[in-house]
Amino acid sequence: MKAIALISGGLDSILAARLVNSLGVEVIPLNFKIPFCKKDPVYNQDSLGACLNCVDISGEFLKLLENPRHGFGSNMNPCIDCKIMMLSKARQLLDKFGASFVITGEVLGQRPMSQNRQALSVIEKESGLEDLILRPLSARLLPETIPEKQGWVRRQDLLNFSGRTRKPQLELAGRLKIKDYGQPAGGCLLTDPRFSQRLRELIAHKELNADNLELLKVGRHLRISANTKLAVGRNEKENQLLADSAKEGDYLFSPGADMAGPTSLGRGEFDRELIELSCALTCHYCDLGLGASADIFFFKKNNDTQKQNESSLNVLPAAENIVTGLRI
């Protein structure tokens, strides 16, 4: 008997897969990649003796974000629709892997939006996996599933975890000698208020695509016109990330090598006025004395990896009220 186990990298999904594997079921670990995970999933092949299968669903997920059927959580997290999409994809892969059911690490009552009884039922029905989703950590508190009815697993071997406490999971991890796993919270950028604010703004301007989404993860963000944004690095690492992220047509702004300051990436439609504003905004974050100006260098990225037609402007820093009014 085989089952697909959805692996997020967190402890619950690892425990669920390991528990069912210990009951004699061959577990196929599967991770769905979306562009909002802060880190790659923590996964030790020794836990299940099988390689992690990864499937990228980023493109479809971006479309879902624009109008999730079940709405959002407290921020831009469409948790119910996200789970339905992932489980629907898992259902489509059952035949490919020769699997008969799907395992998840969901715990009843752990997350108020997506792990209450009603939500779990909706997710099952709309994913097309009704009675074929086994949630072994809470199975004894939930309706009996086909794997239990058919005797593929015994209900008495499953668990009755519920609520937000992590103590039972940590105790089980100790008994199973599982040490490598991700932290229980903060793994999805869509639950972050600041990132969600930036994402809403991007969608409102109809600029949601993979490149713009990656840019949201780096630096300070300012909307300098209806069709133009500026991302300003906050440290050396972000400065380099912004420089590396520049696409053809983007502008890069930075002070001279003898001055501490950010790299800024401008994306959108630029005229002379917006170039001057971007230089002043970049200058705002430079290490300058009161009333001092600075030379800000800029160029437009093209297919050539070398800087072409680099220019500079000597500018005063943008005033704080201007920066505040433009900040996203």
SS (H, E, C) 142-182: CCCCHHHHCCCCCHHHCCCCECCCCHHHHHHHHHHCCCCCE
Q: What is the pLDDT of residue 153?
A: 98
Beta bridge partners of 97: none
User: Domains in the chain and their CATH numbers?
Assistant: 2-187 (3.40.50.620), 218-326 (no CATH)
On whether the pTM is more than 0.85, the answer is yes
The CB density around residue 52, as the number of other CB atoms within 10 Å, is: 18
Would you state the pLDDT for residue 132? Answer: 98
**The two three-digit tokens of residue 98, written as one number:** 């020769």
Cβ atoms within 10 Å of 164's Cβ, excluding its own? 11
pLDDT, one tens digit per residue, over 202-235 is 999 999 999 999 999 999 999 999 999 999 999 9
Residue 168 amino acid letter: P
Q: Output b/e per residue, 18-30; b: 16+ Cβ within 10 A.
A: bbbbeeebebbbb
**In this predicted structure, what is the pLDDT of residue 183?**
63
Task: Give the pLDDT of residue 180.
Answer: 73
* Residue-by-residue DSSP string for 248-297: TT-EEEEE-TTS----EEEEE---HHHHHHHHHHHHHTS---TT--EEEE
Give the number of other Cβ atoms within 10 Å of residue 311's Cβ: 11
Tokens 């005229």 correspond to 271
The two three-digit tokens of residue 251, written as one number = 């502008």
Q: Can you give the pLDDT at residue 325?
A: 97
The residue whose two tokens read 């070398």 is 306
**pLDDT, tens digit (0-9, with 9 covering 90-100), for 102-135:** 999 999 999 888 899 999 999 999 999 999 999 9
Helices (H) then strands (E): counts for the chain: 11, 11
pLDDT tens digits, one per residue of 43-55: 777 778 889 999 9
Which residues of the chain are modeled with pLDDT < 70?
Answer: 182-186, 304-308
3-state secondary structure of 130: coil
**Distances in whole angstroms, Cα of residue 315 to Cα of each of 21, 275, 278, 290:** 64, 11, 10, 13
